[in-house]
Structure 1
Amino acid sequence: MWFLFAACAALCFGIRGILYQWTSQRPVDRNLLFVGVYLSGALISVLLNVRAGQPWNGGIVFGVLMGLFSFAANASLYKGYEVGRASVVAFFSGLTPIVVVLAAYLLWRETLGSVQLLGFCIVVLALIVVRYRSDLQSGQLSGWQWGLLAMLLYGFTDLSSKQSVLSGGSMFPVLTMMFATGTLLFFLMYAAGRMRTRSAAAGPSYSQDIPIAASPERETPGTNVPNGENASSARPAVWSGKRTLLWGMTVGLTNIVGMVLMLSAYEDGITGIVSAIAALNVVIVLLYARFYLKDAMSRQETIGIVLAMAGILVLRLAS
């Protein structure tokens, strides 16, 4: 069942990525949006635990770490998009499964069988092919350090998730602490931004459009140009705080479901493989871009999707 849970988690994170892509084209405050995303997860986790009655034990400390690492990973990703090339940042941040499988071996001596290793390598190759851009070929590596940092922090998030399972932490209390920590940190970011805006008397609060984040999926028009330099000079009306918060809470539904499925997969699954399968949410976003947005799919992306499907098939046969 763990393989099915991991695949469904990838689907949920893919849908989340699609919603992020759609939202990135709207004039929203990204920090307030993510307050809503994390707040939704915290509230739903509490409600689910009221019904499940899971105990609050020492494992909840890993929920706090998950929230800290998740927040820091998103912050690093945002910074990378602001100062560097989006494609470069996405490439490095997409290699999280490599960090996870190596750390899982060092921490818990988790090893992969020969067929599992083959499937894992195919999946990672698919991620590399999908994310490899001409910027890397031409040596334009601006922002790589932020992408590398995001890769490590997303890896730490996955490892903390696994450790919460190994320590016997109850799922819903752990998720409550994760999302509550993220809510607090993003709210502090939002409040700090508002204070800077007021002190600078720079007009209404408006932050950059949201880059593809949390599980960075696919570049959208304008994301590889720092600060949206190709955007129209006439900006639409900024979404109200209430509308942004409520939309963030709606998007958060996909996030909490994906996290529940991922933690369920970690209970029996191999850490590196679960992380690799979940990272394939990028395929969902690519298919959405191809068939709904009518974006032309390059030969490179097509090859990456085929490799991803082949990797999943090999992993399924090995599980």
Structure 2
Amino acid sequence: MWLIYSVLAACSFGLRGILYHWTSQQSLNRNALLCGTFFMGSLISLVCALIFRQEWSVTALVGVQMGLFSFGGNASMFKGFAVGKASLVAILTGLPSIVVAMVAYMIWGERLNMMQISAFVVIVAGILLVRYSNEISLSNLQGAQWGLLALFLFAGNDLTGKWSTLLQSSLFPTLFLMFTTGACCFGAWWLKDYLRSNKDEQHPQSKWNLRNTFLIGMAVGITNVVGMILMIKAFDYGMAGLVSAVAAMNVLLVLLYTRFVLKDKFTRLEQSGLAMAFVGIILMRLFAS
């Protein structure tokens, strides 16, 4: 069951990635967009919590930690893209599942058998091949520190999600606090930039006003909250490292979008990475138990 939830989460996050890719090509305010994304997640989580009458217990406060990790991971990733090599940052942000598997083993004693380890390695290797760039060398590591920070923060978010299931925290109250925390953080960041731009009298022209940007962010937020719901359900049934690795395959959906919609050509490494990742999923299905 965990594998089904994980694959569905990867599909949802992949759709989110496609929307992120599209919005990145537009001249809009990134923080306003992400504030809208997290606000929508908060709104949907609140409505679901009320409809299903879920308990608002103290354990739901773990959602605040999830929100801080998610905000920090996204902020570090965007900072890395701004100051360093995008390819390097992309590789590093594709590795949280390794950290998750190691920490889950040390804290909760989650052990993988040899076949599961093999499937895990194949999936991670496939993801890395997809994200790999020949432009990277030891003398060209700009942004590595931000990529590493994003790696550990995203891993922290996954581990906290798993922890919420061990605490038996109610799903939607936890997600409400997570998304509300993220929305407040991105909203505060947007407000700081807005006040600074007014002070410096910089008013760039764009067809994307803040209202439209926020609404687009809310649309993206639907895919984000669905992905989080599915991922938390996967954590409830499966081991953290395996769930994290499968969910990280969302990058493959983005790659397929760039190939068939944007008509980009696959490199041999990308083709090899796609094949390896899908083989890894098949192996995971065969040796899921």
**Alignment partner, residue 283 of structure 2:** 314
Question: How far apart are the structure 2 equivalents of 1:289 and 1:203?
Answer: 32
Question: How far apart are the structure 2 equivalents of 1:203 and 1:40?
Answer: 27
Task: Tell me how large the CA RMSD over aligned residues is.
Answer: 1.0
Question: Would the aligned equivalents of 2:80 and 2:89 in 1 still touch at CA under 8 Å?
Answer: yes
Tell me, which stretches of 5 or more residues in structure 1 are unaligned? 205-235
Question: How far apart are the structure 2 equivalents of 1:138 and 1:299?
Answer: 23
2:274 aligned partner, one-letter code: I
**Alignment partner, residue 231 of structure 2:** 262
**Alignment partner, residue 274 of structure 2:** 305
Tell me, which stretches of 5 or more residues in structure 2 are unaligned? none
**Alignment partner, residue 210 of structure 1:** none
Question: How far apart are the structure 2 equivalents of 1:116 and 1:190?
Answer: 43
Offset of residue 138 of structure 1:
6.5
In the superposition, the TM-score normalised over structure 1's length comes to 0.89
1:21 aligned partner, one-letter code: H
Offset of residue 299 of structure 1:
0.4
1:198-226 CA-partner distances (Å, limit 9, x unpaired)? 1111224xxxxxxxxxxxxxxxxxxxxxx
1:244-265 CA-partner distances (Å, limit 9, x unpaired)? 1111000100000000000000
Which of 280, 298, 303 is the equivalent residue of 2:249?
280
Question: How far apart are the structure 2 equivalents of 1:178 and 1:166?
Answer: 17
What SS class does the counterpart of residue 135 from structure 2 fall into?
helix
Offset of residue 58 of structure 1:
2.0
1:158-216 CA-partner distances (Å, limit 9, x unpaired)? 00000011011000000000000001000000000001101111224xxxxxxxxxxxx
**Alignment partner, residue 260 of structure 2:** 291
| Bigger fraction of residues in helix | 2
Question: How far apart are the structure 2 equivalents of 1:138 and 1:144?
Answer: 11
Question: How far apart are the structure 1 equivalents of 2:145 and 2:172?
Answer: 34
Offset of residue 92 of structure 1:
1.0
Offset of residue 64 of structure 1:
0.3
1:83 aligned partner, one-letter code: V
Question: How far apart are the structure 2 equivalents of 1:192 and 1:237?
Answer: 19
**Residues paired across the two proteins, number:** 288
Question: How far apart are the structure 2 equivalents of 1:140 and 1:78?
Answer: 18
What SS class does the counterpart of residue 59 from structure 1 fall into?
helix
Say whether 1:133 aligns with 2:130.
Answer: no
**Alignment partner, residue 250 of structure 1:** 219
* Identity %, equivalent residues: 44
Offset of residue 78 of structure 1:
1.1
In the superposition, the TM-score normalised over structure 2's length comes to 0.98
1:92-129 CA-partner distances (Å, limit 9, x unpaired)? 11111101000101110101011111100101111111
